[in-house]
Structure 1
Amino acid sequence: MTTATADLYDERGEELDSPALPLLDLGGRTTFDGPARTIRCHRDNALVKRVLATPGGGAVLVIDGGGSLESALVGDVIAASAVDNGWAGIIVNGAIRDRVAIASLDLGVKALGSNPRKSAKDGLGELDVPVTIGGVVFTPGRHVWADADGVLVER
């Protein structure tokens, strides 16, 4: 991504949405973009782990954890798997853990915060469904851009 999100919004504002969330930059890469893949899950990251262990092809995984900070949906092992499998980034409407390790990875990671508590591993959740985060719908396949200013997604 060579164009900053602010400039991209100035050029294409009517085609783009930006979630109103205080997402933190927690990965080793602040700027990233790619087609969206989505997961909706609550305090269960088995589906997240399974998906990020598959070839990402430069995609961005958008995880709707319902804004819960009660347990982490992504940790260092899962994030390292994402790097190994060619994912551009992860956006989490929820918490991650292992912040220091994740910050050293060549991966974009945005989340609401962190919590050392691990999540359940029951495999509950939905894959590649439209998810609404911060008042914005993320549809699988639509392009997502992220940088220090925030996140944009095609409408």
Structure 2
Amino acid sequence: MTPTTDLCDANEDKIAAGTLRVVEPMFQSWGMKSSFMGQAHTLKVFEDNSLVRSALEKDGQGKVLVVDGGGSMRCALVGGNLGMLAEKNNWAGIVVYGCVRDTLELDECDVGIRALAAHPMKSQKRGIGHENIEVALSFTTVRPGNWVYADEDGVLISETALS
């Protein structure tokens, strides 16, 4: 994958037009993949990871699960079992605007994971949320099918695939 810094340098016109967006630097990194890319599969949930599990149970080849958890710092939306499920089902990565847990287990998973922080408490399981809708990572909009690029320098969201 081309580094996000090079993608920014080569696509300044898309940044100016708003079709390439740089997510503000707020994420910590877990998982064995330090860089990943793929098309966004979006979820909007709040302190309930039922839809996260059901999404990760599907084939994720070429996809990044983008979870708008409302930035909640009161529980985790992804843990070790879901990290293993993501690896098993070939997800390129997971970006969580919220927390994760079981970080030592997540670091053993062959998937890239970005989240705001670690939190030891699990989420609720009520089956509440929305799938494949426009979501927000703080001030950055992500639509289903957008391209997500993540590495050690940050996370980018693009309307189209970048070369």
For 1:43 and 1:5, how far apart are their aligned partners in 2? 30
Tell me which of 50, 72, 96 is aligned to 1:92: 96
Q: Which residue in 2 is equivalent to 1:28?
A: 32
Residue of 146, 151, 155 corresponding to 1:147:
151
* Corresponding residue number in structure 2 for 1:49: 53
Distance 1:91 1:28 in 2: 14
Q: CA RMSD in A?
A: 0.9
In structure 2, the residue matched to 1:17 is: 21
Structure 1 segment 133-144 matched on structure 2, within 5 A: 133-144=137-148
Question: Which residue is 1:124 aligned to?
Answer: 128
Structure 1 Cα separation of the partners of residues 45 and 25 of structure 2: 18
CA distance, structure 2, for counterparts of residue 25 and residue 147 of structure 1: 9
2-structure distance, mates of 1:80, 1:50:
13
Letter in 2 for 1:99: T
User: What pairs with 1:34-113 in structure 2 (closer than 5 Å)?
Assistant: 34-113=38-117
Spell out, residue by residue over 1:69-128, the C-alpha distance to the aligned partner (whole angstroms, 9 max, x if none): 100000010110011001000000000000011011110000000111000011100001
Distance 1:13 1:25 in 2: 26
Contact 1:29–1:108 (Cα < 8 Å) also in 2: yes
Segments of 4+ in structure 1 off by > 4 A?
none
Q: Given residue 27 of structure 1, which amino acid in structure 2 is its aligned partner?
A: G
Structure 1 residue identity aligned to 2:133: V
Q: Distance in 1 between matches of 2:59 and 2:107?
A: 21
Write the distance in 2 (CA, Å) between the matches of 1:25 and 1:46: 22
Counterparts of 1:5 and 1:21, CA distance in 2: 13
